[in-house]
Structures are given as C-alpha cells and as structure tokens.
Structure 1
Amino acid sequence: MEDSVTARLKSLVVNSNDALEFKMIRKVQDLEDDGTTFKPEMSHQVFGDSETIFGYRDLKIKLYYSAGSLETYVGVSYSEKICKDSYEGIEADEILPKLVDKLAPKFHESIDSFTESLKKDENFRPHGELLHAFTLDDNGSARHFEVYKADMSYKGFKEYHQRLRTFVLWYIDAANFVDVDDDLWHYFTMFEKYDGKVGSPHYATIGFATVYQYYAYPRNTRPRIAQVLILPPFQGMGLGADLLRAIYREYVGRNEVKDITVEDPSVNFQRIRDFVDALNCSTLSSFSKENLLQPFNKSMAEEAREKLKINKKQARRVYEILRFRITDLSNEKEYREYRLIVKKRLNLPYKREQQDFKKLQAALKNLDKRQTNIALPPKEQRYEALEKEYRILEEAYKKVVERLQDEIQL
C-alpha cells in the first residue's frame, strides 16, 4: 500500500492540458464569460511528454489574448503549492519560466494592465495586403471575414506575429517557429471584421498560415504550405477552406510558380485540401465524368498543374476522390474496378520493394553461395495490409465526397 506522503504527492500531479485555459477577448465582459474559454489540444511542447505539472492543487494557467492585436496576459493561480521543506526537498515545477521561454516579450502579468491594453484593439488594423473578403451566414446573422498577406517589412507585423505564432505550440504537433529573418517566408492571416464602438470596424484574429518559397529549376518557385491553423472558437465553420483558397489566389496566377505543395499535412488539413482541390478540379475538362471513368492520365496531371498549380501526387488523389463520387457502390463490377485502381496505386511502393529485394538477393548470392535469411512478408500479410490501407483511405474520401455533394452538380 502507498504511504500517505506518496499518495499526497500523486494528488499534486496536474494534467497541463486541463490546467491551461485560453480566451480571445473582444470586450471586458469576456474575461468572466466561461463561454469564451477554450483548451489546448496538446501541451507537451512546453510541459514535457507526460503533459503534467507537479506540485500544485487546483492549478489554473490563464493565457488571454486581446482579439485583434493579441496583447497577452499570463496568470497562474492555485489553492496549494508544495513546500520543499515539508517533503524532503521535493520542489514544485516552475511554470512561468517555461511559458516565458515560448511567449513573445512584453506580456502582461497584471489583469488590470491587460484590461487597459484592450483599448489598443479600437485602432488595430490587419497588416499587409487584403487578398480575400467574404461573408458567412451564421443562423441568419452575417459575419464578415478577411484574409491578408504580409511580410516582416510591414511596421508592427513582426511583433504581432511573435504573439500569434505561440498558438502552434498548443495545436500543431512537432511545431517550430519559422525564421522571421528569412525573406522567403510568406504569412497569411485571417480576421473577422465586426462593428465596434460607434459602428467603427474592429478586427479579431481567426487563424493564419505560413508558406515557404522553395526554388524550382530553372527559374521557378514551389510554394510549400507549412503551418495552417484556425483557432478553436472558429473551427467547424469552413474557414480553413477559405484560408486555403486565399493562398491559392496568391500563387495560381503566377507563371513562375511550378506547383504548390504541403509540408507533412495533418489529417484535418489534408481533408480541407482534398475538398478545395476536388472542387476546383471538377471544373476542368480533363476531370469530366467521361474522363473520370478512364484511368488517371497525363492530361489530368498537366491541366491540374498548369491551371491550379496542383502537383501530380495530389492530382492523382483528387482523381480518386472524384471518381469515387461518381462510382455506383451498389454495382459490384463498378465498385470492384474502382477498388482495383486505387489498390494498384497503393501497391506501387511494395512492387518497388519487391524489385529491390530481388536485386539484393542476386547480389548476395554472387558474394556468398550460402542461403540468406532475408525475406519479404508473406503475400497474405501484404494483402491484409493493403486492404486495411484502402479502407482507411476510402473513409477519408467519403468525408470529402459528403462535403462536395452540395457544391458539385452531376
């Protein structure tokens, strides 16, 4: 049995995800409104792999941001903190130093000074060039959104971005802050434009994306989307697709852009990308219903790249989504033909692995006539893995097709 000291120590281990709370403050009343609170998806990038904090009871870590300029407040409260003199020198984890290491400088530790700073949002305006403005109907109420593109040459943007980028720690796994001194980074930010005092416009930060300009031979560029985040209070509204459309608008018309790629996309972002790309490709002649019933071909890849800057790998994926959409799943012959087309593509890496294995076997035999123990997995095992891989992919495609139903007319 645990002794009382051990049990008490365990009771002072806090889950850091539970302890953290965020707010985007538009007005002073939001400070006391629990409905404005949202939580992190992860905290291991600040508080370690275990995502725990030791030495506190009833711990709360408040990270509040003014909605526009992102003035930041950090507050730590608890009902009890362990005293090392009472527990043989065991100390509580330090919280603020870990946060200070990640947050932008000049944050507020006083709620009064933070409240006073909210006045800055009355004059806050987004940095950069307006790329896209649109309106959404939210239960009969019109909400207005805008997307801007900026770089570090805009006055005040570097300081704003230092505050904005801290959100990646809580919502993008394996996130790194981009090098703001590298001019090849482009920054896209989304805002909600709403009426403030006396009808003057105010802006609330909604999300952002970063894009890096890679070189492509001989005189081209290949923009790579690195980080995309819509803040939790605004997720589920389709805003991620609008942010991606704004990014596309910036690059699609440029002759020097070869294609647009994405760096290690999350499952959620890949779904958004699939939706936007499939919707765009559905307007291309090479992706007509008649052509979709044929195998993926060179004209599809070329038209997708030339008109939409979609790379070949993503164009093939879009072809599979659009073909799945027109496939009659109740028709066994039609459905089986579709599955075979996708599985053949999924099996290509295994085919190459087989070829490389045969070459290796031949080389080893030439060096040593003795029997080698190297072997590939049995075919039955490969078939099972292939079927599982296909089922996962089909489920992902189904979600995209469901969203496409209201957008594309057969």
Structure 2
Amino acid sequence: MLAGCHSTPCVYVTDGSAVERVLMDSVIFKVKKLAEYKCDTNEALCLKLVRFPEDVEDDSTTFHPEYSHQIYGDDEVAFGYKGLQIQLFYTAGNLSTLFKVKYSSKVTEVFDCVEPDDIEGKIREIVPAGFTCNADDFSSLLEKEANFKPFGTLLHTYTVHSEEAGELTYQIHKAEVTCPGFLEYHERLQTFLMWFIETASFIDADDDRWDFFLVFEKYNKDGETLYATVGYMTVYNYYVYPDKTRPRVSQMLILPPFQGEGHGAQLLEAVHRFYCSLPKVQDITAEDPSDSYVKLRDFVLVKFCQGLQSFSADKLHLGFSADMAKEAQDKLKINKKHARRVYEILRLRATDMSDEEQARAFRLEVKKRLFGPYRKNQRELTKMRKCLRPEELVSHMDQMDTQTQHEELEKSYQGVVEDYRRIIERIATQA
C-alpha cells in the first residue's frame, strides 16, 4: 500500500496504524506550512503621509493601523502570503494615494489547491478611484503638492513648539462641499477612519447638513509654503423645534503622526467657538462619544466655563445650580448634562480633599448623580413586581443587592475622580 502527499516522501506500510501515522504526519506538515502564510494585518498595513521623495523609503515615517477588523475580519489576519506588506502612501496635503501589495511568497506557489485571501480587493472597496500603483506616478503627484491649498474658510491659527523643528504653524478651516476638489479629497481622508476608529463608517457628504472642519500644518519645501493634513471633524446639524439646530459631532480624527500635540483640543475649541457665534444653535453634542473624546471634551469645556460668573469658586460649594446650566447653555451652547460634569471638575479643583468635611460633601454630591441609574432600576423593578414570576423576581432582587450597589457606586466614583484629576492637571500645565 502506498501513501504520500505532495512533497512528503513515499512510504510503504503494511498495517492500518502505520497508514494513520503517515496521514497524520502529512496533515501536520501541511498545517504548519500553511500557518507560515498567515499575517497580522495591523502589522502588514503600512501607512505614510509623504512630504519629500525620501519619505517613501524611510521606515521612520511609516505608521500602522490600530484596527483592521472592518476590512480583514475580527481576527485581523490575512492568509496566503509570506512577508506581506500592504502600502497605502498618501501625499501629505492632497492625500493623493499610492497603493501597492508586496510579499515574498504566495501560498499557491506551494499548495495549488489553496486560495489566498483577496487582499487587494478588500482595499479597493474603501480606497476611492484615482489612486496609483506606480511609484513614478506617485512621485509626479508629490511634485504637484505645491498647488494644494486648504479648503474653505480659515477659523483659527495656532503654533506648537517642536524640539526638532521649533515653532510650527497650524490652521483650522471650515470647508464647504462646494469647494472645488473637496468631495474627492474627503473620500480619501475618510479612509483613515477604518484604521483608527473601531466602529467607523463613511458618511454621505452630499447632505448639506454636514459641516467639515480640517486641520493643516504649514511647512516649507524648497522655499515654498506647503500644507499637510493633520486631522478633521465632521458635524451634523439636527433640527430642533421650532427654529434651532443641534450640531452633533460625528467623527473626529487626528492622524497618528500628529497625536499627543494638542491638536484635538485646538480643533474642538475652534468648533465650539464657531457654533457659539450662531444664534440658531441650541447646544453641541456628540454621537456615541468614545472615552477619549469625553475626556477631551471635559478639558475643553472646563477651559471655557471656568471664566463664567456662575462657576466662580465661591459658588461651587453651593452645588450645581440652574444659573450654571443656563449660563453654560446661553453663552457656550453646553447642555445641562455636560455642564454638570464641568461643575464637578471645577468643584474638585476648589475642594481641599484633605479636609474631611469638604471631601465628604464633594463625594456625596458626585455619588448623588451617579446613583441616578440605580434609582431608575429600582423604580422599574417596582413596576415589574406584578408581572414577574417568583423566580424572576428573586433574580432581579439579587441584581439589586444593596451591598453590590454600594460597591459599584464607589468604584464608579473613584474612576470619575481619577478622570477629573487628569483634567485638572492638564488645565494647570496650560495656565
């Protein structure tokens, strides 16, 4: 009897157990070989914002996604290639795109019965038409960057000190969909969302209720002033009866090479100031904000509110008031919920936590707000008593155990205080 598989040597055997061993060895060999053709797509995908021709070959200018599951599945693995490198290089300003896939070996070269994943097809689903796969063509596009100028109206200019480059200048613009070339540029820009926002989705930019805010860096190249894309924000204007609007932040992204430099705060501040100048705006909110966005918003709103009369230090210890809610709404378009968080942060800053009485008063004030969801659950449980079977009622009663409530409440309180202290420290460093 003859057994063999691909490159496995032929072996003559005479009993069933030997056949099984040979077949098992063959399967193990094949599985191990196939495993060599799996790649982590977060590592394989290489992104760049190219300013100079030498950036293309400079590994220090490469950055990688935080997420790739929306394109390559929950396990974020691509099968079928060794040494896989997916290149998505963008010119720094206009985001003209180079897309190339490179690898050292393909699975079909070893196993002709196994198909590799369609790496290119998945990228083409999100990258808009007009990209190039040719390095020379990309170099030509890079030479045209001098013609790129920021879209829309200039809202704000600021500087950031860099140890390497000195003072760098940045601009925030409000773009209009009617700006020539903007819609095509936005299609390229929003591809970054797939790699850096966990549940990102593309928007219909043709809807005139969208507002677009862009951040650019000014830099010099061969004596010319050029612009690099830093980040952006999209805001949707919802109608509020009878004649108001409620701008809701939908997407916000500062590109990785610029993160940690304060651009997010500058952008959010500029956007708030813009909407505060519009009488028809009722308040500014955000759609499903991440924890990092909430912390950024807290920081920005505290900066705004600390100068309001109703938030003065002598009034903070009297508790959150209707005056605070009204002044924050009227002057800064901040809703009551967000104003309450600002009040708690400012009150913590004004509280001597080493003073037992002051600390206790602050703790009770915060826990009173945090306890709100628990009280709601209690009311819902009371309503359900008449329609629940005895075993269901016991189950719900267990969930509402008083000791558990106190433990969860204390845990929530400690987390809140920790976040608030970070905001206070950040405010102090910029004072």
Q: TM bucket by the smaller chain?
A: over 0.9
Deviates more, 1:52-61 or 1:264-273: 264-273
Cα distance in 1, alignment partners of residues 410 and 121 from structure 2: 49
Partner of residue 39, structure 1: 64
The one of 371, 382, 402 aligned to 2:405? 382
Partner of residue 56, structure 1: 81
Cα distance in 1, alignment partners of residues 306 and 421 from structure 2: 16
Could you tell me how far 1:407 is from its partner in structure 2?
Answer: 3.7
SS in structure 2 at match of 1:330: coil
Cα distance in 2, alignment partners of residues 169 and 369 from structure 1: 48
Cα distance in 1, alignment partners of residues 354 and 57 from structure 2: 54
Could you tell me how far 1:369 is from its partner in structure 2?
Answer: 9.9
Could you tell me how far 1:97 is from its partner in structure 2?
Answer: 0.5
Cα distance in 2, alignment partners of residues 358 and 269 from structure 1: 36
Cα distance in 2, alignment partners of residues 369 and 281 from structure 1: 51
Could you tell me how far 1:364 is from its partner in structure 2?
Answer: 3.0
Which digits, 9 at most, give the CA deviation of each residue in 1:310-339, with x for residues without a partner? 111111111111111122222222222212
Cα distance in 1, alignment partners of residues 417 and 86 from structure 2: 41
Residue type matched to 1:212 in 2? Answer: Y
The one of 323, 338, 342 aligned to 1:299? 323
Could you tell me how far 1:14 is from its partner in structure 2?
Answer: 0.7
Could you tell me how far 1:400 is from its partner in structure 2?
Answer: 0.8
The answer to whether residue 206 in structure 2 is matched with residue 181 in structure 1 is: yes
After TM superposition, the runs of 4+ consecutive aligned structure 1 residues lying more than 6 A away are 368-371
The answer to whether residue 423 in structure 2 is matched with residue 397 in structure 1 is: no
Could you tell me how far 1:114 is from its partner in structure 2?
Answer: 0.6
Cα distance in 2, alignment partners of residues 375 and 145 from structure 1: 55
Larger RCO (CA under 8 A, 6+ residues apart) = 1
The answer to whether the 8 A contact 1:41-1:170 is kept is yes
Partner of residue 121, structure 1: 145
The one of 33, 54, 66 aligned to 1:8? 33
Cα distance in 2, alignment partners of residues 154 and 269 from structure 1: 29
Could you tell me how far 1:33 is from its partner in structure 2?
Answer: 1.4
SS in structure 1 at match of 2:387: helix
Could you tell me how far 1:370 is from its partner in structure 2?
Answer: 10
Cα distance in 2, alignment partners of residues 127 and 369 from structure 1: 65
Cα distance in 2, alignment partners of residues 383 and 358 from structure 1: 20
Could you tell me how far 1:31 is from its partner in structure 2?
Answer: 1.0
Cα distance in 2, alignment partners of residues 369 and 239 from structure 1: 56
Could you tell me how far 1:75 is from its partner in structure 2?
Answer: 1.2
SS in structure 1 at match of 2:261: coil
Relative to structure 1, the CA distance from residue 386 to residue 370 in structure 2 (aligned partners, 3 Å threshold; closer, same or farther) is closer
Could you tell me how far 1:373 is from its partner in structure 2?
Answer: 4.0
The one of 192, 209, 234 aligned to 2:258? 234
Q: Provide the identity percentage.
A: 43
Which digits, 9 at most, give the CA deviation of each residue in 1:163-193, with x for residues without a partner? 1110000011111111112110011110001
The one of 363, 374, 381 aligned to 1:350? 374
Cα distance in 2, alignment partners of residues 343 and 372 from structure 1: 27
Residue type matched to 1:254 in 2? Answer: L
Residue type matched to 1:28 in 2? Answer: P
The one of 160, 184, 202 aligned to 2:185? 160
Cα distance in 1, alignment partners of residues 62 and 112 from structure 2: 38
Partner of residue 126, structure 2: 102
Could you tell me how far 1:39 is from its partner in structure 2?
Answer: 1.1
Relative to structure 1, the CA distance from residue 349 to residue 325 in structure 2 (aligned partners, 3 Å threshold; closer, same or farther) is same
The answer to whether residue 300 in structure 2 is matched with residue 276 in structure 1 is: yes
Could you tell me how far 1:392 is from its partner in structure 2?
Answer: 1.8
Cα distance in 2, alignment partners of residues 401 and 334 from structure 1: 18
The one of 245, 248, 251 aligned to 1:221? 245
The answer to whether the 8 A contact 1:54-1:92 is kept is yes
Cα distance in 2, alignment partners of residues 399 and 370 from structure 1: 45
Partner of residue 171, structure 1: 196
Cα distance in 2, alignment partners of residues 352 and 258 from structure 1: 28
The one of 254, 259, 263 aligned to 2:278? 254
Q: Following superposition of structure 1 onto structure 2, how do residues 289-328 of structure 1 map, counting pairs within 5 Å? A: 289-328=313-352
Partner of residue 201, structure 1: 225
Could you tell me how far 1:374 is from its partner in structure 2?
Answer: 5.0
Which digits, 9 at most, give the CA deviation of each residue in 1:184-209, with x for residues without a partner? 001111000112233x3100000000
Could you tell me how far 1:360 is from its partner in structure 2?
Answer: 2.0
**TM-score, reference length from structure 2:** 0.90
Cα distance in 2, alignment partners of residues 297 and 283 from structure 1: 16
Residue type matched to 1:249 in 2? Answer: R
Deviates more, 1:104-113 or 1:370-379: 370-379
Aligned length: 403
Q: Following superposition of structure 1 onto structure 2, how do residues 337-376 of structure 1 map, counting pairs within 5 Å? A: 337-361=361-385, 363-364=386-387, 372-373=393-394, 375-376=396-397
RMSD: 1.8
Relative to structure 1, the CA distance from residue 30 to residue 283 in structure 2 (aligned partners, 3 Å threshold; closer, same or farther) is same
Structure 1: any 5+ residue segments left out of the alignment?
none
Which digits, 9 at most, give the CA deviation of each residue in 1:103-151, with x for residues without a partner? 1111011111111110121110011111111112223711000011112
Could you tell me how far 1:375 is from its partner in structure 2?
Answer: 2.4
